[in-house]
Amino acid sequence: MSTPSPSATLQNLFESLLDEDEIEEIVDAFSGLAVADQNPALNMGLILSDYSKKSAVAYFRVLAKVLETITCDELGPWVGMGIKISQKTAAAGIRFFKEAPGLFSQISSPLLRQRFIAYGQSLADEDINLAVEYYRNAPLLLKENATSEVSFSEWVDMGRALGRLDYTLAIEYFRITPNLMPHLPMSLMPQWIQVGRNLATEKLLPTLLFMRHSPEVFSIIVSEREKELLLNLCYEVSLQNPLFVVELFTESPSIFRPFAALGLQSILLEKTTILAKYDATLATSLFLNGPNILSLMGDIALKFPEWVDEGISLLKKGVSVQGFFALKGRAGHDAMTRLRGGVSLASVSKTLKLFAEALSGKSVSIKATSKRDKEAEEREAQEHAEGGTEKAQENTAQKADIPFTDGENIYLPPHICYFTDDNLNFEWYKVATAYQAGYLEYDTFYPQMNETADLIQSLQEKYKKRGGFSSLTSFFSLFPEPSLIERLFEIAEGARVEASLRQEYPGLRKAMNRMRVHDLDRRPSLVGLSPRGVVMELLLQISMAGKTKEEIPNPLQKIVFELCEILGAVNDAGSSVAISMQVATKAFDYLYEGEENPDDMSGPMEAFEEEGIRTEGKGEDSGELQASTRGMLDPKKVEETAEIKKQYTDALIEKLKAAGLDLSSDAASAEISKSVEQGEVKLQSLKESDPSDQVEEVVERLQAEQGAAGRAEGKRVFYYDEWHCEEEEYLPRWCRVVESTVAAGENDTVEAILSEYHGMIHSITSAFQLLRPEGFKRIKGSRDGDALDLDALMVARVEMKAGMNPSDRIYIAHQKKERSVAVAFLLDMSGSTQQLLPNREKSILQVEKEALILMSKAVDAIGDQFALYGFSGRGKDTVDFSILKDFDEPYHHRVDQRIGEIESAIQNRDGAAIRHATSKLAAQPCKTRILILISDGKPLDDQYRGSYAISDTKMALREAKYRGIYPYCITVDSKGEDYLKGMYGDVAYMVIDQVETLPMRLPQIYKRLTT
């Protein structure tokens, strides 16, 4: 029997799968193969068809294309791998063969192709899906011998090993690493894999993001050492908080740039990795804030390692450094200041704020000039481009960290190091603050309409300008050269405010005298300035220091002296901002028009201008301008801020009306100022959104304050400050405490407690009744009384016989004897009190209920004033304060029923609850006032945990002591040694290891505290 032809074989093989045209296409392509290749190729296809005819179709369709790259001898291993894959799934087999032409075309060497297929077959024996990913991606590594045989073998083995541990990561590994390996040495690949595996313990997405960003990140980082250090850092962070790694890793190229310029990129990675071994959160904060830290360090940026070391040293000592590396507290800024020398604004801002508010009578904030909003900087850049020389000078001034105010804030340089004596550096800040506060105090930005009406009218007529006068900027706009009048007004008004400060605050004079000498010394040279620039600079120097740094050029002496005479009117007593506007206008006329003496003015100016053109130098026009204590005026910024505040105020009033609350415009404005200071709203956000959307928090707060948020029966709302340990200041009115009385219930809890502890209750009350004082006590040796003190009388007679003046204290007085004790029991009712005790069917809260009922019986028996409170809640705006019994309420069975009704709630913000209990206890007119806090563990609430919560709780207890209250803390957390001393260190506390003994121990503790 004759052997059928290949064409007939193929026809028979596929007649049930394909139509005639498709079969003919395959036959035609097969017929084009070399005769010697046809039988071996056909046999391979027939073998494959025994496992998957669909895969065989794909094989024959690409066969001719594949044989353009590989030899017929290589078909066997390739098809063998395809058979393994096809056995798993026909779809994978079809893709395997379809992709072959493109893959084989990348591998020119037969030896490499042989290696490629061999490793693929070995992978297919373990996991088909891994083999498919390998098959698709490995050619990139084999292309033009891109990888050595050893490296390629290691690469495959790593993927195989990873697949045994984590199939998903292994798939991603084979997809990504061909593009990664040109940038990451094979020696670092195991660590890269380990970081990925650590991330996968939390969530898969961070791992995928880390792996997929790796080729790009490592292609940017050139140094192999830095790649290793970056992986070390990612590894350390991944052990503690995997979610931080992705941001840290992907941001690393941009973080490195400023460090690379200083050769500090390796130092950054090394220091951050050391820190990560202690705290991954702090390390991430340091790394991501790195460029900002360098920027703030400025000329001492090379001391970055020493700065980090100081933070780590504090951490090792147990000092809280949460804000150190993020520069959110004083510690980081103070360390920077020590390295630099001088005084930082952060270290004195609170003092300056109080000083500014005392001078101006307004609520203001002190901020660094570097914190001006970005939009303002863009506006200044626009003015620089459009406004000519003077605007360029103004923009330069702001870049030089010149003090200014926007009406709500005073902006000062972030750091001052002008003097070796830090007292003088602080004095610079003080004088600069005085000037800016003076602008607010003496109404620089708000001229009175009745004082300026004639001036405005004359200017409108003279320059034919329309429109009413509403602000300083509208005043400047009346002139043909607004920038010139603005500079002249700034000189005049600065002199007026200085004169007013000197007159009203004599204590400032010496400091102002010292600073004017310093400011004058820092003024720019006249060389290279335009004639007008020279005149303006000389006028400023004279107004600031009463003299000039350099001699006044002869051609300009007359002009300068006459302008000084004009501007000097602002020094008269009682001058107002309207006077500054008037004299600035006269000076403008003199300079701009030369009306009074045009012939004398033009000649000298022109002659000096020629001299200036011939000379090169530095000065205002060249942008070299130093900060001075007088600062600068920015009326436009003040007016913008006022307008924004007005829009917020109007929006707030409308919202409050809709909520049924009425507030005057002034009161609403004050609330907006308070909200800005507390961070509830940001003025800048108005430019990006509707103001009505930004005042919701203010409305909610005011609703709560006026009772709208606590309309439920028995509820009242109170606000308390909270201590911010990093900022070392109180957050004003930060916590909202909602007080309510627990409703008495009818349940079996109380009866069960009374039954269980019946005998103990009888014993305790009997013992405590013995402590009740007797009705009266006899006081011998009194001046008045209802009986004679015989002993004292005998002594008096002896003294009389001896010729001495006898004592008149010969009576016995009977005074009513009372215990003067008030105690408040404050019970933690957070969710953790639901925890069941070991080997008991009772929870911590159940035992606490028992203790309160027994304690109530005991204290009532002794007759002391007492109150029972509980607290829990969720977040700073919902600190629930539950009254079980208040001081003015007699003890009765309903109190026990309320105790029986309390349940474990959510979280515990101890500081706020302690402050509220303290305020209630402080109102009691007793000699001895005790606050007993019963807690089961650390304070914990939204954004209230760790050292922050512990520090606030400690401060609240300290405040209680300052108010004459004796705090005593009882905790049932036997494992709290790590935090208890830090939190309760200032007050007495006790740890009760066996919680179930609390009902017996509490009365004993109370007896010891009060007798």
Q: Are residues 434 and 546 in the same domain?
A: yes
* Contact call for residues 67 and 100 (beta carbons, < 8 A): no
Q: Where are the alpha helices (DSSP H) in 387-527?
A: 388-399, 422-441, 449-463, 472-476, 482-504, 509-521
* Contact call for residues 428 and 629 (beta carbons, < 8 A): yes
Q: Are residues 853 and 990 in the same domain?
A: yes
Question: Is the pLDDT higher at 95 or at 377?
Answer: 95
Q: Are residues 191 and 290 in the same domain?
A: yes
For residue 493, the model assigns a pLDDT of 93
Give CA–CA dist 114/647, Å, rounded.
76
Phi, psi of 449 (to 5 degrees): -60, -40
pLDDT in tens, 255-285: 999 999 999 989 999 999 999 898 888 898 8
Q: Is 825 left (phi over 0), alpha (psi -120 to 50) or beta?
A: beta
For residue 226, the model assigns a pLDDT of 92
At a CB cut-off of 8 Å and minimum separation 6, what does 449 contact? Answer: 469
At a CB cut-off of 8 Å and minimum separation 6, what does 124 contact? Answer: 81, 84, 85, 131
* Contact call for residues 289 and 248 (beta carbons, < 8 A): no
Q: Are residues 605 and 620 in the same domain?
A: yes
Q: Which of 525-539, 846-860, 861-875, 972-986 has the weakest average pLDDT?
A: 972-986
* Contact call for residues 169 and 210 (beta carbons, < 8 A): no
CA atoms 658, 664, 666, 671: torsion sign: negative
Tokens 């209630």 belong to residue: 920
Please tell me whether residue 94 adopts helix, strand or coil conformation: helix
pLDDT in tens, 791-826: 777 767 766 776 667 777 767 765 555 677 888 999
Percent of the chain whose pLDDT exceeds 70 = 78
- Residue 918: pLDDT band by 50, 70, 90 thresholds? very high
Q: Are residues 945 and 796 in the same domain?
A: no
Tell me the residue length of the chain. 1011
Q: Are residues 246 and 149 in the same domain?
A: no
Question: Is the pLDDT higher at 142 or at 306?
Answer: 306
Give CA–CA dist 167/161, Å, rounded.
10
Please tell me whether residue 116 adopts helix, strand or coil conformation: helix
- Residue 695: pLDDT band by 50, 70, 90 thresholds? low
Kindly state whether residue 97 falls inside one of the protein's structural domains. no
Q: Are residues 475 and 623 in the same domain?
A: yes
* Contact call for residues 34 and 73 (beta carbons, < 8 A): no
Tokens of 872: 């829990």
Q: How many helices (H) does the chain have, and how many strands (E)?
A: 45, 16
Give CA–CA dist 347/324, Å, rounded.
13
Q: Which of 279, 313, 340 is the last residue of a domain?
A: 340
Q: Are residues 257 and 357 in the same domain?
A: no
What is the rounded average pLDDT of the residues 768-791?
Answer: 62
Kindly state whether residue 475 falls inside one of the protein's structural domains. yes
Kindly state whether residue 735 falls inside one of the protein's structural domains. no
Angle between helices 844-862 and 998-1010 (to 10 degrees): 40
Give CA–CA dist 413/401, Å, rounded.
5
Question: Bridge partners of 368?
Answer: 412
Residue 549: domain span: 351-633
* Termini Cα distance of the chain: 121
Instruction: Specify the number of domains making up the chain.
Output: 7
For residue 426, the model assigns a pLDDT of 93
Kindly state whether residue 729 falls inside one of the protein's structural domains. no
Question: Is the pLDDT higher at 602 or at 92?
Answer: 92
Q: Are residues 518 and 624 in the same domain?
A: yes
Kindly state whether residue 413 falls inside one of the protein's structural domains. yes
Of 217, 325, 344, 187, the closest CA to residue 268 belongs to: 325
Kindly state whether residue 463 falls inside one of the protein's structural domains. yes
For residue 691, the model assigns a pLDDT of 58
pTM of full prediction above 0.85: no
* Contact call for residues 165 and 197 (beta carbons, < 8 A): yes
Kindly state whether residue 987 falls inside one of the protein's structural domains. yes
For residue 606, the model assigns a pLDDT of 46
Q: Where are the alpha helices (DSSP H) in 938-997?
A: 946-962, 977-984
pLDDT in tens, 543-594: 888 899 999 999 889 999 999 999 989 888 788 999 999 999 999 999 887 6
Tokens 């109180």 belong to residue: 730
- Residue 738: pLDDT band by 50, 70, 90 thresholds? very high
Structural element, H or E, at residue 788:
strand 787-788
Give CA–CA dist 226/218, Å, rounded.
10
Q: Which of 46-55, 334-343, 430-439, 747-756 has the weakest average pLDDT?
A: 747-756
* Contact call for residues 486 and 389 (beta carbons, < 8 A): no
Q: Are residues 525 and 618 in the same domain?
A: yes
The amino acid at residue 90 is A
What secondary structure letter does DSSP report for 941?
Answer: B
Q: Are residues 470 and 612 in the same domain?
A: yes
Q: How far is CA 844 from CA 74, 831, 909, in A?
A: 75, 10, 18
* Contact call for residues 829 and 882 (beta carbons, < 8 A): yes
For residue 1003, the model assigns a pLDDT of 73
Kindly state whether residue 392 falls inside one of the protein's structural domains. yes
Q: Are residues 486 and 548 in the same domain?
A: yes
Of 673, 862, 652, the closest CA to residue 773 belongs to: 862
For residue 23, the model assigns a pLDDT of 82
